[in-house]
Structure 1
Amino acid sequence: MSTEADFRTASGRVRGKGAGNGVTAVLGIPYAAAPFGARRFWEPQPAPAWDGTRDCTAFGPISPQSAQLPKAPVWRPGDEDILTVNVWVPERADGGALPVLFFIHGGAYTFGSSAQPDFDGTALAHAKLAVVSCNYRVGFEGFGHVSGHPGNRGLLDQIAALRWVRDNIAAFGGDPGNVTVAGHSSGAGSVACLMAMEQARGLFRRAIAHSVPNAFYTAELAAAVTERIAGEAEVAPTPQGLLSVPPEALVAASDTVTAHCRTNPVAAVHAFDPVIFQPVVDGEVLPADPLRALTAGAAREVDLLVCHTLEECWFLHTVGAVREVTTEAGLADFAAALSLPAHLVDGYRAAMPDAPVLDRYLALLGDAKFGEYTTRLAEHHARAGGRAYLARFARRRNGARPWHTADIPFAFGNLDAAGADFLIGGAPDDHDRALSRRMLRSWAGFAATGDPGWPAVTAATTPVKSWAVPDAPLSADDTSTGLRALWRDVPFGLLRPGQPARHRPRGLSGAAGPASARPSARTDVITAPAVS
């Protein structure tokens, strides 16, 4: 196969371009119709067919958002054909069908696209995979509550893209019966949701989820967010009112609500982590939160590989995405907002006796938001009869932390991509490149066979692979380590509005704090229904 080639899809022929290393990239292929006009706020509809051969040598437009990421496209009013997939495939000597890796980008369910340089699929395709990535609706277009319209439209877009893979990937040399869905951050949250959704059943047999966020809304909280956004846009929170607002105006209104969250949160957690769009457990599109679903065995037929970084929230603090907490009073307010029990807060203080409050706060927030939830997904999936593997990204170098997003350029083999130097803390060295090769091989091996290269989690033990420089030995069992022991009886649940705190941690100095720093008494995060 030439590195520049034509392929026939169900909608028409497409032409890609050479991407290097014997890989062809076919970019910006529509998998669904433009979700605007009469289709706005509805589930994705089939892509229209075209005549001739469509030039697919550039990424398609991205979903409405205000983010401007390094070397990635920006959204412009009028961009409508946003539901596209990208495919990278290698030359094949044997002609056998390729395992498929389907990647979902992150971005707090609010921004991002498949065109970000660190998501380029060339290196993974060179490892004998058919790599697919997709754009989907983010922000209000994808996750905003609109009465009478389906919720979780971004997740429905991802399912439509997976159906496109099922129906078309064989034309590119991929195996539609051997699909691994992968994602990072909100992309990993999406992966976890897809495992819980009946509509996604049978579209993939394996899943990779890096840094799964513990954040899922009730329908009531999603409606409260919409009411706040509609107020900023000066329209009624009705379908008619929201449809009268162009996408760019809803983006601006959403940005304003986010900016005001620290002093006027919709739910108490927003005062510290102002991400206002999350998947909604509505009982229809998403029947249950993923942890509860996996605990019940909803996806036991799907092999699962999860990973998180050791210091997730230092990145979010550095880029200003979470509130800074530097006093015991502020830490007490944070703990109350998340309904964290006193023994958990006290345990982090004992484990980090010389650390400033900010470090303890970021450690606690990182584990509450990503680390413990990601780990628990693997454990509960294994206990329900599924096969699960756990890894942690622990690479440090020259002061660079193992923080949120640092693992992705390593797994994709894109250490030299634009912006990767910030994520990984400088230019890569030979040790970093060796680590990247190990991580890429584990993804490729898992996608091909279900084995990433180390033992699976069992009902009794939690082996952990540590991605570090130099290579670290396998930890035989994670369940008895100090900080994890503190979380043993702490439940996770849904985010809701309108509830006072269930309890306020005791034993914290300066617990009152200034009134301006405390979450509103009208809103809170509660932990019911909870899964421990």
Structure 2
Amino acid sequence: MTPALAATAHGAARGRLAPDGVASFLGVPYAAPPFGPRRFRAPVPPEPWTGVRDATAYGPTAPHAPYAPPFDALIPEGVIPGDDCLNVNVWTPAPAPGTGLPVLVWLHGGAFTNGAGSVPAYDGSAFARDGVVCVTVNYRLAADGFLRLPGVPDNRGLLDQVAALEWVRDNIASFGGDPDRVTVCGESAGAMSIGVLLASGRARGLFRRAVLQSGACHHFLRPASAGRITAYLAAKLGVEPTASAFAAVPLAELLPAAAALRGEMGPRPDPALWGEAALNIMPFEPVATGLELPGPDCGVDLLVGSNREEYRLFLVTTGRLEAVTRAQVRAAAGAYGLPPDEALAVYRAGRPGALPGELLDAVATDWFYRIPAIRLAESVPGSHVYEFAWRSPAFASRLGACHALELGFVFDRLADPSYAPMLGADPPQALADEMHGAWVAFATSGDPGWPAYDTDRRTTRVFGDTPALADDPRGAERRLWDGVR
């Protein structure tokens, strides 16, 4: 590979130009290392550097503990040590100013505790190949990013994302991108982050379009619940619930203790301990005072959707699918706010002979992912809605159209070995062409290639074995959630 050069506001960077014409610039800092006196503080700009900074290898990742088994073998991620973890990676077909290409900024998922923009599975070469500058972002995770602490800003991970978007605004023209044509795109926690940014208006003017995959505006913790988690983690570590006390805990102790909270919540989903987090088993989420939807004046084009069987990732891979009882499904429906008997009758009618675990997947998928996506689309006229329905052959074809399965298709990286454990053998390239192409079209023009969603027809693009349009898929189940979710 030959060198490629780009100028940023903080110094010049040297990347690599691949034979196919795509240039990559990896590990470019958008904010200063968030440690020492900057620990648990809002991000600040990086120090300028002299000379030309090498940008041919991924930079450090935000500190985090590994996924617990079996997810550590299924979901791509990695840890690169180092303090300079607030960095971006850029792929571009035109590493020169003035080209004015559309830009897609990727916010990774990982339940606000895991993931990194440097995961090879998020390589943005296919977007650059198709004329879109792709930027992937690291942001602070778990306690450093989202633990509520007195005297310091909440939602530091979101503040990092805003700082990264500001870096894009100020620098992306040097990489061939147009700062007025930015699409922010995320999956799971990344999409939930975008939902909060949209609802709060915190990043207004920093992006023109947004793609939210398997996440929207409904996942956050109210301050009281966030405070309960802070108190519990502090007691677990034997420290005071303050920023200075947590900063004094070595990362080798803090990271596993924070990661262990999810494992402790599952067997004891007690709201007295965990507050609202007891329902979704995510101890680290953005802190907000209540649910807000962005509304028609948000000024952002939206593409939003979910996978048809999201929750199977958590049921099938752990062996729980066949172990779920009718009583557990009924209890889950009630905890989500549905009238259990009426709701389960509707879900069973659409799934004759379904196991209780399969009904739990359907109910939980709707509560976590599908209904929040629909509510967001309803609030912003002109939004486009999709559903990913291709079923993986992995795990004896039981994995289904589960959470995170669409990622290899969106990034057009079906051959990446990181995705193989979930995709199984021979995933359909034609579907990747369709889905990746729709994301490229949306980032380019705001039109992914199908009609916008409205409350009359509720047109949804279904990405399955044969991509198709559907009006109000599973409408009877959707109507159960009116006034509930």
Same fold (TM over 0.5): yes
Alignment-derived partner of residue 389 in structure 1: 384
Q: Are the aligned partners of 2:42 and 2:153 in contact in 1 as well (CA < 8 Å)? A: yes
1:395-406 → structure 2 map (5 Å cutoff): 395-396=390-391, 398=393, 399=397, 401-406=400-405
How high is the sequence identity, in percent, across the aligned residues?
A: 38
1:15-414 → structure 2 map (5 Å cutoff): 15-67=14-66, 72-74=77-79, 76=81, 79-91=82-94, 96-212=99-215, 214-265=218-269, 266-267=273-274, 273-282=280-289, 288-289=290-291, 292-295=292-295, 297=296, 299=298, 301-320=299-318, 326-342=324-340, 343-382=342-381, 387-396=382-391, 398=393, 399=397, 401-414=400-413
TM (normalized to structure 1)? 0.83
Q: How many Å separate the matches in 2 of 1:101 and 1:3?
A: 24
Q: How many Å separate the matches in 2 of 1:415 and 1:245?
A: 41
Q: Secondary structure at the match of 1:8?
A: strand
Pairwise CA distance, 1:319: 4.0
Q: How many Å separate the matches in 2 of 1:372 and 1:3?
A: 48
Identify if the C-alpha distance between structure 1 residues 49 and 391 changes in structure 2 by more than 3 Å, giving closer, same or farther: same
Amino acid at match of 2:286: P
Paired residue for 2:459, among 453, 458, 463? 463
Q: Secondary structure at the match of 2:387?
A: strand
Alignment-derived partner of residue 491 in structure 1: 484
Alignment-derived partner of residue 478 in structure 1: 472
Pairwise CA distance, 1:420: 1.1
Alignment-derived partner of residue 520 in structure 1: none
Pairwise CA distance, 1:324: 8.0
Amino acid at match of 1:491: V
Q: How many Å separate the matches in 2 of 1:110 and 1:322?
A: 23
Pairwise CA distance, 1:3: 5.9
Q: How many Å separate the matches in 1 of 2:32 and 2:309?
A: 40
**CA deviation map 1:452-488 (0-9, x unaligned):** 001111353311111122333x12x31772322322x
Q: Are the aligned partners of 1:406 and 1:423 in contact in 2 as well (CA < 8 Å)? A: yes
Alignment-derived partner of residue 508 in structure 1: none
Q: Are the aligned partners of 1:232 and 1:257 in contact in 2 as well (CA < 8 Å)? A: no
Amino acid at match of 1:254: A
1:385-464 → structure 2 map (5 Å cutoff): 387-396=382-391, 398=393, 399=397, 401-428=400-427, 432-464=428-460
Identify if the C-alpha distance between structure 1 residues 470 and 402 changes in structure 2 by more than 3 Å, giving closer, same or farther: same
Q: Are the aligned partners of 1:262 and 1:323 in contact in 2 as well (CA < 8 Å)? A: no
Identify if the C-alpha distance between structure 1 residues 3 and 448 changes in structure 2 by more than 3 Å, giving closer, same or farther: farther
Alignment-derived partner of residue 504 in structure 1: none
Q: Secondary structure at the match of 1:50?
A: coil
Amino acid at match of 1:416: A
CA RMSD of aligned residues (A): 2.3
Q: How many Å separate the matches in 2 of 1:268 and 1:317?
A: 24
Amino acid at match of 2:244: Q
Q: How many Å separate the matches in 2 of 1:447 and 1:203?
A: 14
**CA deviation map 1:220-261 (0-9, x unaligned):** 000101111111111011233222213332212212322211
TM (normalized to structure 2)? 0.91
Q: Are the aligned partners of 1:35 and 1:44 in contact in 2 as well (CA < 8 Å)? A: yes
Q: Are the aligned partners of 1:272 and 1:322 in contact in 2 as well (CA < 8 Å)? A: no
Q: Secondary structure at the match of 2:294?
A: helix
Q: How many Å separate the matches in 1 of 2:95 and 2:147?
A: 43
Q: How many Å separate the matches in 1 of 2:257 and 2:301?
A: 40
Gaps of 5+ in 1: 283-287, 493-532
Pairwise CA distance, 1:439: 1.0
Q: Are the aligned partners of 1:100 and 1:175 in contact in 2 as well (CA < 8 Å)? A: yes
Pairwise CA distance, 1:67: 1.3
Amino acid at match of 2:248: S
Q: How many Å separate the matches in 2 of 1:65 and 1:94?
A: 36
Q: Are the aligned partners of 2:26 and 2:55 in contact in 1 as well (CA < 8 Å)? A: yes
Amino acid at match of 1:435: L
Pairwise CA distance, 1:322: 8.4
Gaps of 5+ in 2: none
Q: Are the aligned partners of 2:409 and 2:436 in contact in 1 as well (CA < 8 Å)? A: yes
Amino acid at match of 1:478: D
Q: Are the aligned partners of 2:78 and 2:115 in contact in 1 as well (CA < 8 Å)? A: no
Amino acid at match of 1:262: G
Amino acid at match of 1:279: P
Q: How many Å separate the matches in 1 of 2:103 and 2:243?
A: 38
Pairwise CA distance, 1:380: 1.9
Alignment-derived partner of residue 501 in structure 1: none
Q: Are the aligned partners of 1:20 and 1:122 in contact in 2 as well (CA < 8 Å)? A: no
Q: How many Å separate the matches in 2 of 1:388 and 1:491?
A: 22
Amino acid at match of 2:262: T
Amino acid at match of 2:102: P
Amino acid at match of 1:235: V
Q: How many Å separate the matches in 2 of 1:247 and 1:324?
A: 38
Q: Are the aligned partners of 1:108 and 1:275 in contact in 2 as well (CA < 8 Å)? A: yes
Pairwise CA distance, 1:62: 1.0
Q: How many Å separate the matches in 2 of 1:337 and 1:321?
A: 23
Identify if the C-alpha distance between structure 1 residues 63 and 318 changes in structure 2 by more than 3 Å, giving closer, same or farther: farther
Amino acid at match of 2:263: A
Q: Secondary structure at the match of 2:408?
A: helix
Q: How many Å separate the matches in 2 of 1:405 and 1:3?
A: 34
Q: How many Å separate the matches in 1 of 2:129 and 2:316?
A: 34
Identify if the C-alpha distance between structure 1 residues 173 and 259 changes in structure 2 by more than 3 Å, giving closer, same or farther: same
